[in-house]
Amino acid sequence: MKKSIKPQKKEKLKGIGGWLIIPIIGLFLSIILVLYDLLSMNAIYEFDFYIGLLSLLDIGLLILVITSLVLVFNKKKSAPKLIIAFYITNIILQTVVAVLIEDYSGIAAPWVGGAIWILYFLKSKRVKNTFIN
């Protein structure tokens, strides 16, 4: 008697798991880094127009990150778009700062990381299946 082997149904990728965990951890780390940047920048440098501007931009980035995380955990459809906006904003800010201080040693990280995670949020089946509310 032959046993028929039924192909197992592939489980639909859904929920906060898999590779999606990595950028979420990155968002939490971004909160810590932006807060550190805000506190250290104002403690180390004398306050002037540029420090004020950078502080204001950091506060905007912090709001963007926190809002993204709230949308992620509520599985809102707009979460991926806001996270992509965060990565683009971070790339722009890091590039501008690198040009202003003429130190390009850390410029590759936001570009490479941003490119990888932007593509992930655009192409991932898990992202499409998770953020549906």
Domain edges within the chain: 18-130
Output the six-digit token pair for 127: 């992202």
HSE of 70, CA atoms in CB hemisphere, 13 A: 6
First-to-last CA distance in the chain?
A: 49
- Which among 93, 98, 66 has a CA at the least distance from the CA of 82? 66
Residue-wise pLDDT for 29-64, tens only, equals: 999 999 998 888 766 777 788 778 888 889 999 999
Spatial distance between the Cα atoms of 29 and 113, rounded to a whole number of angstroms: 14
Residue-wise pLDDT for 63-83, tens only, equals: 999 999 999 999 999 999 999
The alpha helices in the chain, defined as continuous H runs, are 21-44, 49-73, 79-101, 108-123, 125-130
Q: What is the mean pLDDT of the chain?
A: 89
Looking at residue 66, its pLDDT comes to 97
